[in-house]
Structure 1
Amino acid sequence: MSRFPTDTPEQAKFRTAVQTFLAEHAEPRAESDPWQVSGFSDDNDARAYFEDGRCWQRTLAAHGWAGLTWPVEYGGGGHPVWADRIFREESAHYNSHSGFIGATIAMLGPTLLAHATPELKTRFLPSLLNGEATWCQLFSEPGSGSDLASLNTRAILDGDEWVVDGQKVWNSCAQFADWGFLLARTNPESPKHRGITFLLVDMASPGIEVRPLVQANGSAHFNEVFLSSVRIPSNQVVGDVNGGWSPTRTVLANEAAFIGRGEGPSASDRLRDLATRHGGLENPIFRQRLARIISRERLQNFMGQRIQTAVRNGQSPPFDPALTKVMAARTKVLSGNLAAELTGLAAMASSETEDPEGNWVRAEILNRFAISIGGGTTEVQ
């Protein structure tokens, strides 16, 4: 009997094709490191992770597996939304990822499809999808994170160019990106959700300075970006001038769906492995808690699919996308707590090289806090 008895014949055929591709081009996770986490100890680690993601994205594009649900005319596969879900289910068994490149594709791609001019779509979508051009998000500012619409970065039209001045922060992998998608205030007299314009900026432009931010745990993929009289051609506006909040909402909806669905092996899979090693499966209370996490993970996936389907069809999501992100944050608390209880203090005291399992547990515990902040704090969703 199939592991996925609910697959239709079309879905089962597609799943088999995915399995064949992954078997030929990716390394099974069990043969590498089943407890691998994507933390960075320095800038070199961050760059290696970034380049690994670019390499995998190029592999996907070269074999027709990138942008499964995107229109064919922009390099996609033209498949239904379920194709993306099946590919992620099968990819969880392999040590393959697109990393931050995959995240920006998930956020920016649908936004360009929904709001960009045909010229911008033709110019940017194919290179975004095949990893040739990499992107970073330039939204948050020192005083405007969760309350994004209060941003202070300004853009003034000078002939056929926008002149941008301001500062952005918490910009993942901006030090490696070729392009950025940027929010700037273009009409300071309008209410804060209006008068914002969504711009595409070449990160090699004069006046851009990227400064990496090294966190307390050594992670080095965040940055702050300073913009001093940066000139952006006026035809690199997504959506309407002063109407940038509309494409921004599309980015945020897809970001919430991306965070909610997660990438790679699910926490519940790892927790099951931990329980097998530490004897937790015999405990009915543990099994009940694990079942709750599994149920929430599946629900998050379904919610993400509904958001993707609505955005693809040019419709508003059937519920506030922030709910997906809030649910993911709360699920991470449940999984982090359960992992800590299963392994005890020993997991927190061992080193990464001595105990990869403990390293995953530590990351799961720390991520309880990270996911409640990144993409907008839980309190303001």
Structure 2
Amino acid sequence: MTDPAPLDAAAARARVAEFVAAHDPRTTDPAAFLGARFDAGLAWVHFPEGAGGLGAPRALQPTIDAEFARLGAAPVQREGLVIGLGMAAPTILAFGTPAQRYRYLRPLYTGEEVWCQLFSEPGAGSDLAALGTRAVRDGDSWILNGQKVWTSLAHRARWAILIARTDPDLPKHRGISYFICDMHSPGVEVRPLRQLTGEAEFNEVYLTDVRIADSQRLGEPGEGWRVAQTTLMNERVSIAGHAEPREGGVIALVTELWRTRPELRTPGLHDTLLRLWVDAEAARLTKERLRQQLAAGQPGPEGSAAKLSFARINQEVAGLELDLLGGEGLTYDDWSFRRPAGIPFAERVPGFHYLRTKGNSIEGGTSEILRTIIAERVLGLPAEPRTDKDTAWKDLPR
């Protein structure tokens, strides 16, 4: 008996066509459609069989996605699922047990379970390894106490990826462990944080004697920083590395305005628009190359460069939009607290665009930290002095 032939582009398209013939996307419930797609191995084709994939080359995923779109299937909805799809899933794939993959990946993909990320703390943002949330072993469980902050979607999440200090006697990068936390557990308290836009996309989360089973740990105790690197590298790609057509994304806000409102044009603004258009196109092509690199392996520090340019271009384009509109751009639609689900960024008013993009240079790693990563890991420049890397966490000044 011979092994089946490896999956190629033609075979991948044939699998999709066969699947769609059996699951009409026009009449099948969206969650049921995605669940069946996961079971068929067509969710993440490079994942193992039984975990949403076929163990096939990652490079086939764009072919599969394009064929689904051609046959009328809606794209996978990322609204509210970016942390699960973009960060939790690849981390569970890399470090999870077969039982963890089986439990978490399917409802994560279908959107039945929302995920959030409990990483940053009031005293550990850019220096994340300085975190102080404690996890103490208690038999087959861990007891957690601490505070997390800037937690997007915590008010909706069923699960959280979480890092906590399990050995304060070790240097800060070595005494951390990585867990999956049930956001419905006793002792988990979510409090909204109102941001510059007037909304509360994110929250602070208090953990008081929260019990997490050891079976919900990813990686070995004390290896949480290594596991977290997988999450962080994927986070930057998930924020800034998605595919866009030429003149897509945020630059479309001002190019459409320029074409339809000639009375707003001035020579100076024209020069600014042309410069930003070129920057956006260069960033788009760079992201395309990044996705090609991803097809051959895991994301590396290149994702930091994509996220850095994403933040700068978004902020400058939003500023240009206000410059074009003048006083007309100062109106604001205050949704008062929680953003209504399903309203795209592009459909908000220019004032919202301007305020919301200010957060792009903070979320997913500050621009300053990303520049350090690029300098050290891409350009090979000398590392910044780090005098605390061999000091026990408990001895660090606070």
Length-normalised TM-score, structure 1: 0.75
Question: Which of 353, 357, 365 is equivalent to 1:364?
Answer: 353
Query: Counterparts in 2 of 1:206-221, with a 5 A limit?
Result: 206-221=186-201
With over 3 angstroms needed to count, the CA separation of the structure-2 counterparts of 1:217 and 1:336, relative to structure 1, is: closer
8 A Cα contact 1:156 1:186, kept in partner: yes
Query: Which residue pairs with 2:111 in the alignment?
Result: 131
Give the CA deviation at 1:325.
1.7
Q: Is 2:47 the counterpart of 1:70?
A: yes
Query: Which residue pairs with 2:3 in the alignment?
Result: none
Cα deviation per residue 1:25-73 (whole Å; 9 max; x = unaligned)?
Answer: 69xxxxxxxxxxxxxxxxxxxxxxxxxxxx9666544455643553342
Query: Counterparts in 2 of 1:82-97, with a 5 A limit?
Result: 82=59, 87=65, 97=77
| Structure 1: 5+ residue stretches without partners | 1-7, 27-54, 312-316
Q: C-alpha separation between the residues in 2 aligned to 1:376 and 1:163?
A: 28
With over 3 angstroms needed to count, the CA separation of the structure-2 counterparts of 1:118 and 1:62, relative to structure 1, is: closer
Give the CA deviation at 1:80.
4.7
With over 3 angstroms needed to count, the CA separation of the structure-2 counterparts of 1:9 and 1:85, relative to structure 1, is: closer
8 A Cα contact 2:237 2:303, kept in partner: yes
Q: C-alpha separation between the residues in 1 aligned to 2:181 and 2:30?
A: 25
Question: Which of 359, 363, 387 is equivalent to 1:374?
Answer: 363
Instruction: Give identity over the alignment, percent.
Output: 33
Give the CA deviation at 1:337.
3.2
Q: Is 2:216 the counterpart of 1:236?
A: yes
Query: Which residue pairs with 1:42 in the alignment?
Result: none
| Structure 2: 5+ residue stretches without partners | 1-7, 336-344, 371-398
Q: C-alpha separation between the residues in 2 aligned to 1:175 and 1:244?
A: 25
8 A Cα contact 1:205 1:230, kept in partner: yes
Letter aligned with residue 341 of structure 1: D
Letter aligned with residue 297 of structure 1: R
Helix, strand or coil: the match of 2:94? helix
With over 3 angstroms needed to count, the CA separation of the structure-2 counterparts of 1:126 and 1:60, relative to structure 1, is: closer
Length-normalised TM-score, structure 2: 0.72
Q: Aligned residues, how many?
A: 333
With over 3 angstroms needed to count, the CA separation of the structure-2 counterparts of 1:277 and 1:378, relative to structure 1, is: same
With over 3 angstroms needed to count, the CA separation of the structure-2 counterparts of 1:236 and 1:96, relative to structure 1, is: closer
RMSD: 3.7
Q: C-alpha separation between the residues in 2 aligned to 1:165 and 1:336?
A: 40
Query: Which residue pairs with 1:322 in the alignment?
Result: 304
Query: Which residue pairs with 2:290 in the alignment?
Result: 303
Give the CA deviation at 1:183.
0.6
Query: Which residue pairs with 2:251 in the alignment?
Result: 268
Bigger radius of gyration? 2
8 A Cα contact 2:134 2:145, kept in partner: yes
Query: Counterparts in 2 of 1:341-352, with a 5 A limit?
Result: 341-349=323-331
With over 3 angstroms needed to count, the CA separation of the structure-2 counterparts of 1:351 and 1:101, relative to structure 1, is: closer
With over 3 angstroms needed to count, the CA separation of the structure-2 counterparts of 1:144 and 1:11, relative to structure 1, is: farther
Q: C-alpha separation between the residues in 1 aligned to 2:91 and 2:306?
A: 18
Q: C-alpha separation between the residues in 2 aligned to 1:82 and 1:60?
A: 20
With over 3 angstroms needed to count, the CA separation of the structure-2 counterparts of 1:318 and 1:96, relative to structure 1, is: closer
Helix, strand or coil: the match of 2:330? helix
Question: Which of 162, 167, 171 is equivalent to 2:142?
Answer: 162
Q: C-alpha separation between the residues in 2 aligned to 1:222 and 1:159?
A: 33
With over 3 angstroms needed to count, the CA separation of the structure-2 counterparts of 1:273 and 1:9, relative to structure 1, is: farther
Query: Counterparts in 2 of 1:172-187, with a 5 A limit?
Result: 172-187=152-167
8 A Cα contact 1:56 1:97, kept in partner: no
Of 365-374 and 135-144, more deviation after overlay is shown by: 365-374
Give the CA deviation at 1:324.
2.3
Helix, strand or coil: the match of 1:74? coil
Helix, strand or coil: the match of 1:270? helix
